[in-house]
Structure 1
Amino acid sequence: MISQLSWKVGGQQGEGIESTGEIFAAAMNHLGYYLYGYRHFSSRIKGGHTNNKIRVSTRPVRSLQDDLDILVAFDQETIDVNFDELHDDGIVIADAKFKPVIPEGSNATLYAVPFTEIARELGSSLMKNMVAIGASGAILDLDAKEYYTIVSQTFGRKGDKVVENNMKAIEKGAAFVQSQSQGQPSKLKLMPADGRKRMFLIGNDAISLGLLAGGCRFMAAYPITPASEIMEFMIKHLPDYGGTVIQTEDEMAAATMAIGSNYAGVRAVTASAGPGLSLMMESIGLAGMTETPLVVIDTQRGGPSTGLPTKQEQSDLMAMIYGTHGEIPKIVIAPSTVEEGFYDAVEALNLAEEYQCPVILLSDLQLSLGKQTIDTLDYDQIEIRRGDLNLEPDLPELKKGEYFKRYKITDSGISPRLVPGTKNGIFHVTGVEHDETGKPSEKAPNRKKQMEKRLRKLQDLPNKFPSPVALNLQHKNPDLLFVGYVSTRGAIEETIERLEQEGLKVNHAQIRLIHPFPTEEVKPLIEEAKQVIVVEHNATAQLANIIKMNAGYGDKISSILKYDGTPFLPGEIYEKCMQEVVVYGNG
């Protein structure tokens, strides 16, 4: 028996590849296994190679596996593109329709299963994906009945006959493979799972759940990969909580609508990717100058320009910190797991109102669209904090010509906030420099005071932010300290396991508060380590440079970079670590 399995299905985009992976994964999740899934797809509606790789394990996993146990192919291109991932004893299950061929000399086993033919016999070629799922189940020695609950949930609304036919497709696919294996015991039978029920969702859905739980009641957004699922989730669910979603004409309108809603006292967000964030920069500056809360979710993807719309990258980091012209207080946070995406979405809404400034929640394509098993979310942890917002103030009556000091100079840098229409609370609001009442003012002393007031806001945030760095500190004076952010966490964790087995002492810090940078927490970790390795998905070592700017020790810091559009695999980080950095311990 094996404790984990790597399974991949591939074919042409638009022929049911995604649903094949979804149903296979849902069944394994229903049995209580831990899962991690990542989808490779093209930036088009139909056509072009796509695949869905799913890792199944008896323990929690947060990254893809290096190799592949089973490859399910709906065309020859899937075999040609993905066969090199298959280990020596791997299995290919392919549609006999295209006369599949595997490389000569390979030890892999090929099952040519008539997916399409069996599906047509049952009434529709669309059911070929269910035949493939049944064939996969037979390789794993799973009873076809294990799929019944998932098939019923997926197709039940279409009637009992549809459910029955899809189950027959699964059973026939399983029976065909069983007849070909001649009663040989499966080499890929999984150890039993613990049977616990867990959630299985993408990062975008976790973030969306966090926005709902955190009190967001308005979203304005423009569709863009890989952020669109957030808007789609909110369109479906936000009205049930008295909220509204508007699909705007562009990203600039989305940002300014969200600013307007927050100005009126309603928690509001927008979500986009790099190209959209470029368009939002002036509006983000407006939120900073007017001290209006604003939450922006950036799901990073390959750039620049249109770049790689459906591929992994982490190259927006510097832009998110420094992209706006002028200088404003800005918070940038970066969840590193699906669970953190949920809790950090709530925290982003709180921080935006507490500090009256833009908050950027920085995700990436792998975290946004990668699907992962997680334990049930704890809604008891949710706390709504609205900062210095007084919804029912008892203000003294204003004298003629007086205005409320909305931008009052304070020691904390945070001024009293009201919603429009508050009695005796009238004030100006403008994007130009202004005095305490909001009236435009270009006087040098006023400019200095207002600028210093705004920048004073975040001076205590690194000490107040919950877990600014996710830490795995097993050693004092470690040989290596790995540092990453967002989705690199899982691959780093598995690399560390391998290095520890070779006798190295390795610690890990995943940065969750990017700006303002938690220098006091990170600097001692760097001081203690013999060498620091920063792992990130960009070509210019942006996170490494941020660390050097804030904590120093540039001579200790090395980078492992990847910018080809694909996620890190644990083996890749291990190999690059061995090639490019000093190795200590017994290595």
Structure 2
Amino acid sequence: MTDQFTWKVGGAQGEGIDSTGEILATVLTRMGYYIFAYRHFMSLVKGGHTNYKIRADNAKQVDYHGDTLDILIAFDQTTIDENEDELIAGGVILYDAKFESSSKREGLQICSVPMSQMAKDLGNVIIKNMVAAGASSYVLGIEPNHFYEVIEMQFGKKGAELVELNKTAFNKGYDYLKENYPHVQRPVSPATKPATPNLLMSGNECIGLGALLGGCRILAAYPITPATEIMYWLLANMKDFGGKVLQAEDEIAACIMAIGANYAGVRSMTSTSGPGLSLMMEALGMAGISETPLVIVDVQRGGPSTGLPTKTEQSDLNEALYGSHGEIPRIVLAPTSIRDCFYQTFHAFNLAEKYQCPVIVLSDLLIGMNKMTFSDLDLARFQIDRGALVKQEQLDALEKGAFKRYALTEDGISPRSFPGMTNGRYCALTNEHEETGLEIEDVPMRIAQMQKRFRKLEPLRREVNDWGVDYSGADSPEVLLIGFGSTHAQIEEAIHSLEGMSIGHLQLRCLMPFPAEAVDGRMAAAKRVVVIDNNFTGQLTALLHQQLGYHDKTETLTKYDGNPFTVGEIVSFVKG
């Protein structure tokens, strides 16, 4: 028996690949396994190669889908050709008998299963995915009743006949393996079913939940891969909390809608990917100069332009840090895991209102569209903080038109009013303005307002050194690995594979304001620094050089083919 395993199903898009993976992922989660489920797919509705990989562990949380593979379910030859290199020695291939299989690898257990024919005999060719699930159940040594529960849950509302059809297809796959390949088993050790069911969520779902519990009541967005699932999740859940999802005609309108709703006092956000963020640049400046809170979620994908819509990358960093004309204060957060998407999104709304500026949550496809299991979310970790708000009694003491929305306060934060408050009206212009909001071109006031806006983030520049980075490893390592966002899991696993070496791992969770003090201390203590940059030009490396220097000890490992880093790639680079 094994405590962990990896499993993958592949075929052409439209063959039910995702539903096959989702069924097994749900079964394993309900049984008590921790899993990471990874989807590889193309920008096609039908055709092209797609696969769904699951890495499961019965004892500890899994944050990455793994470099290797134990079991491969192949609906076509392309699946074998493109994935067999991942298979371990003695790995299993279950292929659909509709095609003649071939493999370049020796030492694999290759089994022909008439999945399509069984499905045709049952009157529905797409149900071959349930035949595949049954065959997988036998190989993994998982009792069929666990799958029956999920089948009933998934198809119960569609009638008993469909439930029985799926069970029959499942049993055919299970029995075929048992009768024809009884020795092909890689049984997994039993997991302990938790008293409270574990959560199985994607990063996009966690972003939606973090926004909802963080007080967001309007999402204004335009559909774009890989961020659209945020819209779908909030569309299904926002209405139960009195909120609205607005599909705009484009990303420009979506961002302006979110700004308008925040101006009106409703916590609001927009979600997009790189091309959409590009369209929001002028509106980003508008939020900055009008000091209107704004949360933007950017689920990064491969660029430039349309680029690789269904592949992952971290190449929007410079866009998030410096995009828009002119200079405005902004905050850029980078969740390090699917679970962290929840916490960082919740935190983003507090930061946006406290500092009255745009906050960009920089996710990516790897954590956005893929799923993992975790035990729970700490809902007591944050409390909603709406920042500096003017009180009605303070406004009552003012004359009409005297409210200084942009008062030159010592900390740079001016209390804001909401529409409808007596004497609280002001103009939120996109022009430079004086304290009440009226347009000016007066040099001293221009200088004072610019200084005021940038003064706001000074406290955060100090605080971010405490929570803006995660560190593990030796205090003065031979090698310091630095990344941001979703590369966290692979770097952590690489460290375990580099036993015998003195290694440190610094992961940035906040990129602006830059946590200079925390990062500087770690870089100074290391003999060699390796930056893991999921882009072509080494954007994180450039940020480190800009802020701190250390050019002489910094090396960069880049990747830009649309796939996430593997542990092996990081280990090989460090070893040289």
SS in 1 for 2:456: helix
Aligned AA (1:72): I
CA RMSD, 1 decimal: 1.4
Report the CA distance between 1:121 and its aligned residue.
2.4
CA deviation profile, 1:85-116 (whole Å, cap 9, x unmatched): 2222111111111232323x621111111111
Alpha-carbon distance in 2 for matches of 1:534, 1:469 = 17
1:526-559 residue CA offsets vs partner (Å, 9 max, x unmatched): 1111111111210111111111211221212111
Indicate yes or no: 2:327 matched with 1:330. no
For the 8 Å contact 1:535–1:561, the answer to whether it is kept is yes
In the TM superposition, what are the counterparts of 1:115-134 in structure 2 within 5 Å?
115-134=115-134
Aligned residues: 573
Once residues 467 and 86 of structure 1 are traced to their aligned partners in structure 2, the CA distance between those partners, rounded to angstroms, is: 42
- Deviation, 1:345, is 0.8
Aligned-residue offset at 1:134: 0.7
Query: In structure 2, how many angstroms separate the alpha carbons of the residues matched to 1:225 and 1:578?
Result: 36
Percent identical: 47
- 1:32-88 deviations in Å (ceiling 9; x for gaps): 111111111111222211111111113222112111111101111111221222222
Partner residue in 1 for 2:61:
60
Unaligned 5+ runs, structure 1: 580-587
Contact 2:366 2:564 in 1 (8 A): yes
Shift of 1:389: 1.9
1:72 and 2:73 aligned? yes
Give the deviation of 1:470 after TM superposition: 4.2
CA distance in 2, matches of 1:86, 1:64: 13
Question: CA 1:466/1:71 → structure 2, altered by over 3 Å: closer, same or farther?
Answer: same
Query: Partner of 1:436 in structure 2?
Result: 435
Instruction: Select between 145-154 and 391-400 the one with higher mean Cα deviation.
Output: 391-400
- 220-229 or 421-430: bigger deviation: 421-430
Give the Å deviation of 1:144. Answer: 1.4
**What's the CA shift for 1:195?**
2.1
Query: SS where residue 308 of structure 2 aligns?
Result: coil
The CA distance in 2 between the partners of 1:466 and 1:549, in whole Å, is: 17
Matched, 1:274 2:274: yes
1:342 paired residue number: 342
Give the Å deviation of 1:334.
Answer: 0.6
Partner AA of 1:191 in structure 2: S
- The 3-state SS of whatever aligns with 2:47 is coil
CA distance in 1, matches of 2:480, 2:421: 53
Q: TM-score, structure 1 length as denominator? A: 0.95
Change (3 A) 1:353 1:469: closer
What is the match of residue 166 of structure 1? 166
Establish whether residue 199 from structure 1 lines up as the match of residue 196 from structure 2. no
Where does 1:86-485 land on structure 2 (aligned, <5 Å)?
86-103=87-104, 106-181=106-181, 183-184=182-183, 186=185, 188-196=186-194, 197-390=197-390, 392-399=392-399, 402-465=401-464, 467-485=466-484
Q: Quick check: 2:396–2:422 contact (8 Å CA) kept in 1?
A: no
Q: Distance in 1 between matches of 2:252 and 2:96?
A: 47
Q: Check whether the contact 1:213–1:382 (CA below 8 A) recurs between aligned residues.
A: no
CA contact (8 A) 1:338 1:374 kept: no
Aligned-partner Cα distance in 1 for 2:172–2:131: 7
One-letter code of the match for 2:449? Q
Q: If the length of structure 2 is used for normalisation, what is the TM-score?
A: 0.97
Contact 2:465/2:517 (8 A) holds in 1: no
Distance 1:472 1:409 in 2: 38
CA separation in 2, counterparts of 1:382 and 1:471?
18
Partner AA of 1:557 in structure 2: T
Cα shift readout 1:245-289 (whole Å, capped 9, x = no counterpart):
110000000000000000000000000000000000000000000
Task: Answer whether contact 1:119 1:131 (CA < 8 A) is retained.
Answer: yes
Task: Work out whether 1:576 is the aligned partner of 2:573.
Answer: yes
Alpha-carbon distance in structure 2 between the residues aligned to 1:573 and 1:399: 64
Per-residue CA distance 1:342-396 (angstroms, 9 max, x = gap)? 0111110010000000000000110101211112112222310000023644424
Partner of 1:558: 555
Distance across 2 between alignment mates of 1:352 and 1:269 = 10
Aligned-partner residue type, residue 90 of structure 1: G
SS state of the match for residue 344, structure 1? helix
Q: Is the 8 A contact 2:8 2:54 kept in 1?
A: yes
Q: State the match for 2:521 in structure 1.
A: 524
Indicate if the aligned counterparts of 2:465 and 2:518 stay in contact, CA closer than 8 A: no
Residue among 487, 498, 506 paired with 1:509? 506
Displacement of 1:398: 4.3
Letter in 1 for 2:441: E
Letter in structure 1 aligned against 2:438:
K
Measured after TM superposition, the shift of residue 465 of structure 1 is 4.3
